[in-house]
Amino acid sequence: MSPDDYCQQKTAQSGSSFYYSFLFLPPERRRAITALYAFCREVDDTVDECTDESIARIKLAWWRKEIANMYEGQQTHPVTQALQPHLAPYNLQQQHLQAIIDGMEMDLNQTRYLDYTALSKYCWHVASVVGILSASIFGATKQETLQYAEKLGHAFQLTNIIRDVGEDARKGRIYLPVNELQQFNVTAADLLNARHTENFEKLMAFQAARAQKVYDEAFALLPKEDRRAQRPGLMMSAIYRTLLTEVEADGFHVLTQRISLTPIRKLWLAWKTYIRG
Protein backbone atom coordinates (compact mmCIF):
# COMPACT_ATOMS: atom_id res chain seq x y z
CA MET A 1 0.00 0.00 0.00
CA SER A 2 1.38 3.41 -0.97
CA PRO A 3 1.43 6.33 1.54
CA ASP A 4 -1.39 8.02 -0.43
CA ASP A 5 -3.45 4.81 -0.36
CA TYR A 6 -2.89 4.53 3.40
CA CYS A 7 -4.18 8.09 3.93
CA GLN A 8 -7.13 7.54 1.62
CA GLN A 9 -8.14 4.42 3.55
CA LYS A 10 -7.69 6.16 6.90
CA THR A 11 -9.86 9.07 5.78
CA ALA A 12 -12.59 6.97 4.16
CA GLN A 13 -12.86 4.65 7.19
CA SER A 14 -13.41 7.58 9.54
CA GLY A 15 -16.84 8.27 8.02
CA SER A 16 -16.19 11.96 8.58
CA SER A 17 -18.20 14.70 6.91
CA PHE A 18 -14.91 16.14 5.70
CA TYR A 19 -14.38 13.20 3.37
CA TYR A 20 -17.31 14.19 1.15
CA SER A 21 -15.91 17.65 0.44
CA PHE A 22 -12.52 16.20 -0.57
CA LEU A 23 -14.13 14.28 -3.46
CA PHE A 24 -14.63 17.49 -5.44
CA LEU A 25 -11.00 18.66 -5.33
CA PRO A 26 -8.40 18.37 -8.11
CA PRO A 27 -6.16 15.29 -7.57
CA GLU A 28 -3.10 17.08 -6.14
CA ARG A 29 -5.05 19.15 -3.63
CA ARG A 30 -7.13 16.09 -2.77
CA ARG A 31 -3.99 14.09 -1.97
CA ALA A 32 -2.69 16.93 0.21
CA ILE A 33 -5.88 17.42 2.23
CA THR A 34 -6.34 13.65 2.60
CA ALA A 35 -2.82 13.36 4.03
CA LEU A 36 -3.48 16.26 6.41
CA TYR A 37 -6.74 14.73 7.57
CA ALA A 38 -5.09 11.31 8.02
CA PHE A 39 -2.49 13.00 10.26
CA CYS A 40 -5.27 14.53 12.36
CA ARG A 41 -6.94 11.13 12.66
CA GLU A 42 -3.69 9.44 13.69
CA VAL A 43 -2.95 11.83 16.55
CA ASP A 44 -6.60 11.97 17.62
CA ASP A 45 -6.77 8.16 17.74
CA THR A 46 -3.59 8.16 19.81
CA VAL A 47 -5.50 9.88 22.61
CA ASP A 48 -8.97 8.38 22.11
CA GLU A 49 -7.97 4.74 21.65
CA CYS A 50 -5.05 4.48 24.08
CA THR A 51 -6.22 3.43 27.55
CA ASP A 52 -2.81 4.07 29.14
CA GLU A 53 -2.19 7.81 29.43
CA SER A 54 1.59 7.41 29.69
CA ILE A 55 1.64 5.43 26.43
CA ALA A 56 -0.50 8.10 24.75
CA ARG A 57 2.00 10.77 25.83
CA ILE A 58 4.89 8.72 24.45
CA LYS A 59 3.07 8.33 21.13
CA LEU A 60 2.33 12.06 20.90
CA ALA A 61 6.00 12.80 21.64
CA TRP A 62 6.90 10.43 18.79
CA TRP A 63 4.59 12.35 16.46
CA ARG A 64 6.18 15.65 17.50
CA LYS A 65 9.58 14.29 16.48
CA GLU A 66 8.17 12.74 13.32
CA ILE A 67 6.72 16.11 12.22
CA ALA A 68 10.04 17.84 12.91
CA ASN A 69 11.84 15.09 10.93
CA MET A 70 9.37 15.53 8.06
CA TYR A 71 10.48 19.14 7.64
CA GLU A 72 14.04 17.80 7.37
CA GLY A 73 12.96 15.26 4.75
CA GLN A 74 13.47 12.33 7.13
CA GLN A 75 9.88 11.13 7.62
CA THR A 76 9.17 7.41 8.23
CA HIS A 77 5.38 7.09 8.72
CA PRO A 78 3.05 6.62 5.70
CA VAL A 79 1.13 9.76 6.67
CA THR A 80 4.19 12.00 6.83
CA GLN A 81 5.52 10.39 3.64
CA ALA A 82 2.26 11.37 1.92
CA LEU A 83 2.16 14.85 3.46
CA GLN A 84 5.79 15.91 2.97
CA PRO A 85 5.63 16.71 -0.78
CA HIS A 86 2.81 19.19 -0.09
CA LEU A 87 4.53 21.25 2.62
CA ALA A 88 6.22 23.75 0.32
CA PRO A 89 3.57 24.04 -2.46
CA TYR A 90 0.83 24.89 0.06
CA ASN A 91 3.01 26.66 2.65
CA LEU A 92 2.07 24.30 5.47
CA GLN A 93 3.79 25.52 8.63
CA GLN A 94 5.34 23.14 11.15
CA GLN A 95 4.09 25.30 14.05
CA HIS A 96 0.51 24.61 12.96
CA LEU A 97 0.98 20.84 12.77
CA GLN A 98 2.67 20.87 16.17
CA ALA A 99 -0.21 22.98 17.54
CA ILE A 100 -2.63 20.19 16.57
CA ILE A 101 -0.59 17.75 18.67
CA ASP A 102 -0.70 20.30 21.54
CA GLY A 103 -4.49 20.20 21.27
CA MET A 104 -4.58 16.41 21.49
CA GLU A 105 -2.34 16.59 24.55
CA MET A 106 -4.79 19.01 26.16
CA ASP A 107 -7.27 16.11 26.27
CA LEU A 108 -4.79 14.25 28.45
CA ASN A 109 -4.16 17.24 30.71
CA GLN A 110 -7.71 18.41 31.42
CA THR A 111 -11.31 17.26 31.17
CA ARG A 112 -13.08 20.51 32.12
CA TYR A 113 -12.92 24.11 30.85
CA LEU A 114 -13.66 26.91 33.26
CA ASP A 115 -15.07 29.38 30.73
CA TYR A 116 -15.50 30.04 27.02
CA THR A 117 -12.08 31.69 26.78
CA ALA A 118 -10.41 28.49 27.97
CA LEU A 119 -12.56 26.39 25.65
CA SER A 120 -11.72 28.66 22.72
CA LYS A 121 -8.01 27.99 23.24
CA TYR A 122 -8.71 24.26 22.98
CA CYS A 123 -10.86 24.79 19.86
CA TRP A 124 -8.04 26.77 18.25
CA HIS A 125 -5.58 23.92 18.70
CA VAL A 126 -7.81 21.04 17.58
CA ALA A 127 -9.89 22.75 14.89
CA SER A 128 -9.03 26.34 13.94
CA VAL A 129 -5.45 25.39 13.02
CA VAL A 130 -6.80 22.58 10.85
CA GLY A 131 -9.00 25.17 9.15
CA ILE A 132 -6.00 27.38 8.38
CA LEU A 133 -4.00 24.47 6.94
CA SER A 134 -6.99 23.29 4.91
CA ALA A 135 -7.65 26.74 3.45
CA SER A 136 -4.00 26.94 2.39
CA ILE A 137 -4.37 23.63 0.55
CA PHE A 138 -7.66 24.67 -1.08
CA GLY A 139 -6.00 27.85 -2.38
CA ALA A 140 -6.13 30.92 -0.14
CA THR A 141 -4.87 34.15 -1.72
CA LYS A 142 -6.03 36.60 0.96
CA GLN A 143 -5.21 36.89 4.66
CA GLU A 144 -8.94 37.26 5.36
CA THR A 145 -9.46 33.77 3.93
CA LEU A 146 -7.23 32.29 6.61
CA GLN A 147 -9.14 34.26 9.25
CA TYR A 148 -12.40 32.88 7.82
CA ALA A 149 -10.99 29.33 7.95
CA GLU A 150 -9.77 29.79 11.51
CA LYS A 151 -13.23 30.89 12.66
CA LEU A 152 -14.97 28.21 10.60
CA GLY A 153 -12.87 25.52 12.28
CA HIS A 154 -13.98 26.96 15.62
CA ALA A 155 -17.64 26.69 14.55
CA PHE A 156 -17.12 23.06 13.50
CA GLN A 157 -15.63 22.22 16.89
CA LEU A 158 -18.50 23.90 18.75
CA THR A 159 -20.89 21.80 16.64
CA ASN A 160 -18.96 18.63 17.52
CA ILE A 161 -19.08 19.51 21.21
CA ILE A 162 -22.87 20.00 21.08
CA ARG A 163 -23.41 16.73 19.17
CA ASP A 164 -21.09 14.70 21.41
CA VAL A 165 -22.05 15.94 24.90
CA GLY A 166 -23.25 12.51 26.06
CA GLU A 167 -20.51 10.51 24.39
CA ASP A 168 -17.80 12.81 25.77
CA ALA A 169 -19.31 12.71 29.27
CA ARG A 170 -19.14 8.92 29.22
CA LYS A 171 -15.42 9.26 28.47
CA GLY A 172 -15.09 11.59 31.47
CA ARG A 173 -14.77 14.77 29.40
CA ILE A 174 -17.04 17.80 29.62
CA TYR A 175 -16.28 20.56 27.15
CA LEU A 176 -19.24 22.79 28.05
CA PRO A 177 -17.71 25.64 30.12
CA VAL A 178 -18.10 25.21 33.89
CA ASN A 179 -19.38 28.75 34.42
CA GLU A 180 -22.09 28.19 31.79
CA LEU A 181 -23.18 24.93 33.41
CA GLN A 182 -23.55 26.93 36.62
CA GLN A 183 -25.38 29.74 34.82
CA PHE A 184 -28.06 27.31 33.61
CA ASN A 185 -28.05 25.24 36.81
CA VAL A 186 -26.86 22.06 35.08
CA THR A 187 -24.41 19.84 36.96
CA ALA A 188 -21.68 17.52 35.72
CA ALA A 189 -23.69 14.72 37.33
CA ASP A 190 -26.66 15.63 35.10
CA LEU A 191 -24.51 15.05 32.04
CA LEU A 192 -22.84 11.91 33.38
CA ASN A 193 -26.23 10.43 34.30
CA ALA A 194 -27.89 11.58 31.06
CA ARG A 195 -30.52 13.72 32.80
CA HIS A 196 -32.27 15.64 30.04
CA THR A 197 -33.93 18.57 31.78
CA GLU A 198 -35.47 21.89 30.77
CA ASN A 199 -32.35 23.62 32.10
CA PHE A 200 -30.19 21.36 29.94
CA GLU A 201 -32.22 22.30 26.86
CA LYS A 202 -31.76 26.00 27.65
CA LEU A 203 -28.02 25.47 28.11
CA MET A 204 -27.76 23.67 24.77
CA ALA A 205 -29.87 26.31 22.98
CA PHE A 206 -27.35 28.87 24.27
CA GLN A 207 -24.46 26.76 22.92
CA ALA A 208 -26.17 26.31 19.53
CA ALA A 209 -26.94 30.04 19.17
CA ARG A 210 -23.28 30.82 19.79
CA ALA A 211 -22.15 28.24 17.22
CA GLN A 212 -24.55 29.69 14.64
CA LYS A 213 -23.15 33.16 15.33
CA VAL A 214 -19.59 31.92 14.77
CA TYR A 215 -20.63 30.41 11.42
CA ASP A 216 -22.09 33.78 10.39
CA GLU A 217 -18.93 35.60 11.51
CA ALA A 218 -16.78 33.17 9.52
CA PHE A 219 -18.76 33.54 6.30
CA ALA A 220 -18.60 37.34 6.60
CA LEU A 221 -14.78 37.13 6.47
CA LEU A 222 -14.51 35.07 3.26
CA PRO A 223 -13.41 37.31 0.36
CA LYS A 224 -15.36 36.95 -2.86
CA GLU A 225 -12.11 36.29 -4.76
CA ASP A 226 -11.41 33.10 -2.78
CA ARG A 227 -14.95 31.78 -2.49
CA ARG A 228 -14.67 29.37 -5.42
CA ALA A 229 -11.37 27.88 -4.21
CA GLN A 230 -12.76 27.51 -0.70
CA ARG A 231 -15.82 25.50 -1.77
CA PRO A 232 -14.67 22.40 0.15
CA GLY A 233 -14.92 24.38 3.40
CA LEU A 234 -18.33 25.67 2.38
CA MET A 235 -19.43 22.07 1.67
CA MET A 236 -18.30 21.06 5.15
CA SER A 237 -20.22 24.05 6.51
CA ALA A 238 -23.40 22.95 4.75
CA ILE A 239 -23.07 19.49 6.30
CA TYR A 240 -22.13 20.67 9.79
CA ARG A 241 -24.71 23.44 9.96
CA THR A 242 -27.43 21.05 8.80
CA LEU A 243 -26.33 18.67 11.54
CA LEU A 244 -26.54 21.47 14.10
CA THR A 245 -30.04 22.36 12.88
CA GLU A 246 -31.06 18.68 13.20
CA VAL A 247 -29.78 18.56 16.78
CA GLU A 248 -31.74 21.72 17.59
CA ALA A 249 -34.90 20.36 15.92
CA ASP A 250 -34.58 17.13 17.93
CA GLY A 251 -34.64 19.10 21.17
CA PHE A 252 -30.95 18.48 21.97
CA HIS A 253 -31.39 14.81 22.85
CA VAL A 254 -27.64 14.29 22.72
CA LEU A 255 -27.06 12.70 26.12
CA THR A 256 -28.13 9.22 25.06
CA GLN A 257 -27.65 9.28 21.29
CA ARG A 258 -25.32 10.63 18.62
CA ILE A 259 -27.30 12.42 15.94
CA SER A 260 -25.78 12.15 12.48
CA LEU A 261 -26.61 12.63 8.81
CA THR A 262 -26.67 9.71 6.37
CA PRO A 263 -23.77 9.44 3.86
CA ILE A 264 -26.14 10.08 0.94
CA ARG A 265 -27.43 13.26 2.59
CA LYS A 266 -23.88 14.49 3.24
CA LEU A 267 -22.99 13.86 -0.39
CA TRP A 268 -26.13 15.66 -1.55
CA LEU A 269 -25.36 18.70 0.62
CA ALA A 270 -21.77 18.75 -0.66
CA TRP A 271 -22.94 18.50 -4.28
CA LYS A 272 -25.54 21.26 -3.87
CA THR A 273 -22.88 23.58 -2.40
CA TYR A 274 -20.42 22.70 -5.18
CA ILE A 275 -22.76 23.49 -8.06
CA ARG A 276 -23.90 26.69 -6.36
CA GLY A 277 -20.27 27.85 -6.58
User: What string of H, E and C letters represents the secondary structure of 176-238?
Assistant: CCHHHHHHCCCCHHHHHCCCCCHHHHHHHHHHHHHHHHHHHHHHHHCCHHHCCCCHHHHHHHH
pLDDT (average), residues 6-17? 83
Q: Indicate whether 122 pLDDT > 90.
A: yes
pLDDT (average), residues 130-152? 97
More confident residue, 270 or 204: 204
Q: What CA–CA distances, in Å, run from 221 to 93, 160, 182, 229, 240?
A: 22, 22, 33, 15, 18
pLDDT band of 274, cuts 50, 70, 90: confident
Longest dimension (CA), the chain: 55
Q: Indicate whether 277 pLDDT > 70.
A: no
pLDDT (average), residues 213-240? 96
CB-based contacts of 104, cutoff 8 Å, min separation 6: 43, 44, 46, 47, 60, 126
* CA angle centred on 186, ends 180 and 189, rounded to 5°: 120
Q: Exposed (0-12), middle (13-18) or buried (19+): which is 193, by Cβ within 10 Å?
A: exposed
55: left (phi over 0), alpha (psi -120 to 50) or beta: alpha
Q: How far apart are CA 176 and CA 116, in angstroms?
A: 8
* pLDDT tens profile 59-72: 999 999 999 999 99
Domains and their CATH numbers in the chain: 1-14+22-109 (1.10.600.10), 111-276 (1.10.600.10)
Q: How far apart are CA 209 and CA 40, in angstroms?
A: 28
